Structure 1
Amino acid sequence: MPRTTTVAVVGGGIGGLAAALALLRAGFDVRVYEQSGAVSQVGAGIQLAPNCARILHRLGVLPAIEKSAFAPATFDFRRWDDGRLLSRTPLGAGIAATYGAPYLHAHRSDLVAVLADAVGPDRIGTGRRCRGVNHDGTGAEVRFADGGTVTADVVVGADGIHSVVREALYGPEQPRFTGHVAYRGLVPAERLSRLNLEPRCTVRLGPGAHFVHYFVSAGRLHNVVCVVEEDSWTRESWTDPGDSEELRAAFTGWHPAVGGIIDALDRPLKWALFDRPPLARWSTGPVTLLGDACHPMLPYGAQGAAQAIEDAAVLAACLEGAGRREVPTALHQYESIRRGRATRVQDMSRANGRRFHLPDGPDQQARDAAMASSFGLSPEIDWLYGHDPMVPETAVA
C-alpha cells in the first residue's frame, strides 16, 4: 500500500486550519504547527459571505459555526452625519436561497475553535515558531525556533502577512503602511440596548474615516471597527492600546449612534493596516503559500478569511490524487487557479478603502448615487458571492 502523502501546515489561524481540514478530508496525513502557545485568534468579528460558507458546509463544520454565529438581515451603507441610508443589500434567507449558502457574522475565536476541533488536537502542535524552510524539490524540512525540525512531502505557509515561509522562498520584503488604522473592540449587547440597534451589518461612510458595527456570538456581542487615517506608523508592533478620547475626537459630529457605541466600548485595540503587492509566484517545489502569506487582504471587502478558505479548498483538490513527484505540478495548478481571483479581490478591497473615505463633494455624491442603484458598491457581486472554487476556471499562466 503506498505511503500517505504528508503535509506540514505552518500557521494555525483560520486559513491554516481550513487547509488542514480540507487536506484531511482528501486523505492526507496533515500536521499544523502554530507559533503561539495555544490555537486562538486575535481580533473580534468576522464576516462569512456565501462563497466562504459554502466551503465550510462541504467541510462539515457549518452547523457548528451557525450555533455561535449571527445571521444579519441586511448589509447597510449609511452616511456618516445624518445616518441616511445609501444602500441596502438583503441577506438572511434571500441571500442563502440565491447563493446556496448563508451570510454569517462570527467571532474569530469561535470559528477557530470549530476548525481546530474538526482537525483534532493530536494534529496541532503549538509553541512551534517557524524559523525557515528548506526543500530539495521532492520534499521539505521546516525548522523551528526550539531547534526541532519536521519533514513533509508538502509544506503550506499559512503564517500570515509576516510569513517566514514566504521569506524563505522569495526573500525579505517590508509590507507597506496604508495610512489607515483600525480601532477594534467588542461591546456586550446589553450595553447598547438603549440604541435599539437592528440586526444588520452597518457601514457608515465619512470623510477620511468609516465605522462598521454588527452583532456576533449569537447576538450577545456587538463587533465594532472604526477606521481612520494617519500619516505614518513607526512603532515596531502593529497594535497599540487604543485611546478612547482620541477615538471619540476622530468621530466628532458623526451620527449619535456612533458616539453611543464608542462610549460603550472598553479600551479598544488600535491596529495599523499594512499591505503587500501581489506575488508573482506562490509556490516553489513542494512548498506553497496560502491566505495572507501570499495575498493579504485589507478589510474593506470582508473577504480575508473567505479567500484563505477558498485557497484551502482548491489546494486540497489540486493535490488530491497527486503522487509525491507530482506535488510541484499540483501546486502550480493551485496557484494558477487562485492567483487571478485573489488579486481581483485584493484590488476591490483597496479600491473600497479609497471610496469609503471620500470627502463630501462631487466624488462622494457620485459614489452615493452609484451605491443607491447597485448591490452595495459593486454591480457585479455575483462574481464574488456566487463563485464556487470547485467549478473549473481558466487558470492564469
Structure 2
Amino acid sequence: MLIGKQITVLGAGVAGLTVARALALRGADVTIFEQAEAIREVGAGLQISPNGARVLHALGLGDAFAAAGPRAEAVELWDGETETRVARLDLARHKPNDEYRFLHRARLIDFLAEGARDAGVHIRLLQQVDAVDLSGPKPRLTTHQGAELETDFLIGADGLHSKVRKALNGDATPFFTNQVAWRALVPARDDEPNIAQVFMAPGRHLVSYPLGHGLRNIVAIEERRRWVEESWTLHDDALSVQAAFEHFGPTVQAWLDQVENPWLWGLFRHPVAQHWFGRNAVILGDAAHPTLPFLAQGAVMAIEDAWVLAQSLATHDSTSTALAAYQAARRPRTCDIVEAANQNARNYHLSGVKRMVAHLGLRAISHLAPAKLLGQFDWVYDHDVTKG
C-alpha cells in the first residue's frame, strides 16, 4: 500500500532520515521538512548496538556503517577515583558475530542523508513548522513564515519538542533529574583499543570511547540541584567539568585536560507518549519516547522504530491498522528501554555500603561468569525487528 503514497516527514535527524529511506525503498514518495539550513549534527559520539546494526544492513547501508566508525571490542566499568577495573563485558569474545560500533553522530547523519537521497527522498531545508493541526481529514502544517500546508500523511520525527506529539497528546511535563551532562570530543590515536569505559563514583560518572578518525567521545554526568536547560547547544567552561571530576584518576584527568568549550545539557525524564498515531499522522524516535543516555539506545530505538513503521505500513491493508500494529509492537519495548536507562543512572552513582556491595558483586561475576554479565542485555541487543 506504499507505492506512490505521498508522505511528509518532519525532521532530518536519525529517525527522520532512516524512516524516509525505509519508506522510499518500499515505493513511497517521501519529502522531509528540515528547519535547519543544512543537514548537520553538532559534535557528539554514539554507540550503535547489534539491534540497530541489523536494520542498517537491511536498508542496504552496511558498508557505509562499517566505514563510519570502529567496531567495539568491550565495555569496561571502572572505579573512577581509584582507577581500578570493576567489570569487563568482552564483546569480541562472547559476542563475536554481533556488530557494535562507535561513531560520530555527524557521520551517521551523513550516510543516512545520502541513503535517503539515493532512495529518492526529497529533503527541503529551512522548513520550520510551528504548528500541526490533526483535526481535519488531512494533517495541516503552519510554517514559521505563516504558510499553511496540507499533507496526505505526516510522520513526526521532530525530536524532544515534537509538534506532532503535542498534537496527538497535548503538552507533556518532563521533570529535571538533578543530573547534568557535559559532552566533548578530544583527540585520540587511531590505534587505541576500541573499548567503551565507564568511570563511576558517588554522584557522578564519565563515559568515553574512541570514534576513529582521530577522535574520542566523552560524556560526563554529575548530580546537582541547580537546574540546567535541556538543550544540545549550550556550552560551558571546561574548568567546570574538570572541577567536577578532580578526584578521578589520571586517565580521566588526561582526557579532561584536553577538553575545550564542552556542551552542557540538563537531563530530564519525559513520559513515553500515550498516543503514537492519529488520523494520517504518527510519531517515532525521541518524539515518542525520549530516554536518558545511560543505555546508549536513543538512536538505536529510532532506527528500530523506522523499520517497524515502514514495514507495518507496507504490509497492512489500512493505514489505521498499520499504525495500531506499529504502536503495539514498539511502545512496550521502548518503555522497557527507558526504564532500564533510568535504572543504570542510579547504579552508576551508588555510594557507601551499596556501592561497595555492588562493585564486589560485579567483580565476582566478571571474573567467574563474564558471559552471564553480558547476557543480561540480550533482550536489548539480540532483538531483530527485521525478522518481525
Give me the TM-score of the superposition, normalised by structure 2.
0.92
Partner of 2:338: 346
CA deviation string 1:223-274 (max 9, x = no partner): 1111111213255856532222221111122111111100011121111112
Partner of 2:69: 69
Flag structure 1 segments of 5+ consecutive residues without an equivalent. Answer: 393-397
Q: 2:229·2:266 contact (CA, 8 Å) conserved in 1?
A: no
Partner of 1:368: 359
Please give the secondary structure, in 2, of the residue aligned with 1:38: coil
> Aligned partners of 1:357 and 1:19: how far apart in 2?
36
Task: Work out whether 1:288 is the aligned partner of 2:279.
Answer: no
Equivalent residues, number: 381
Instruction: Using the aligned pairs only, state the percent identity.
Output: 34
> Aligned partners of 2:342 and 2:9: how far apart in 1?
28
Partner of 1:181: 180
Partner of 2:253: 259
Partner of 1:202: 197
Residues 238 and 39 of structure 1: CA distance in aligned 2, closer, same or farther (over 3 Å): closer
Partner of 2:265: 271
The one-letter code matched in structure 1 to 2:49 is: A
Partner of 2:307: 313
Shift of 1:186: 0.6
> Aligned partners of 1:38 and 1:291: how far apart in 2?
21
> Aligned partners of 2:123 and 2:340: how far apart in 1?
34
Task: Work out whether 1:119 is the aligned partner of 2:119.
Answer: no
The one-letter code matched in structure 2 to 1:341 is: R
Q: 1:370·1:377 contact (CA, 8 Å) conserved in 2?
A: no
From 349, 354, 357, the equivalent of 1:357 is: 349
Partner of 1:59: 59
> Aligned partners of 1:221 and 1:3: how far apart in 2?
42
Q: 1:37·1:127 contact (CA, 8 Å) conserved in 2?
A: yes
> Aligned partners of 1:226 and 1:178: how far apart in 2?
15
Residues 29 and 352 of structure 1: CA distance in aligned 2, closer, same or farther (over 3 Å): same
Q: 1:143·1:149 contact (CA, 8 Å) conserved in 2?
A: yes
Q: 2:234·2:265 contact (CA, 8 Å) conserved in 1?
A: yes
Residues 298 and 215 of structure 1: CA distance in aligned 2, closer, same or farther (over 3 Å): same
Task: Work out whether 1:104 is the aligned partner of 2:101.
Answer: yes
Partner of 1:147: 146
Q: Calculate the aligned-residue CA RMSD, in Å.
A: 2.3
> Aligned partners of 1:222 and 1:57: how far apart in 2?
25
The one-letter code matched in structure 2 to 1:132 is: A
Please give the secondary structure, in 2, of the residue aligned with 1:205: strand
> Aligned partners of 2:208 and 2:184: how far apart in 1?
10
Partner of 1:390: 386
Shift of 1:93: 7.2
The one-letter code matched in structure 1 to 2:359 is: D
Shift of 1:278: 2.0
Partner of 1:45: 45
Residues 315 and 96 of structure 1: CA distance in aligned 2, closer, same or farther (over 3 Å): farther
CA deviation string 1:66-86 (max 9, x = no partner): 112111221111111122111
Partner of 2:376: 380
> Aligned partners of 2:2 and 2:308: how far apart in 1?
24
Flag structure 2 segments of 5+ consecutive residues without an equivalent. Answer: none
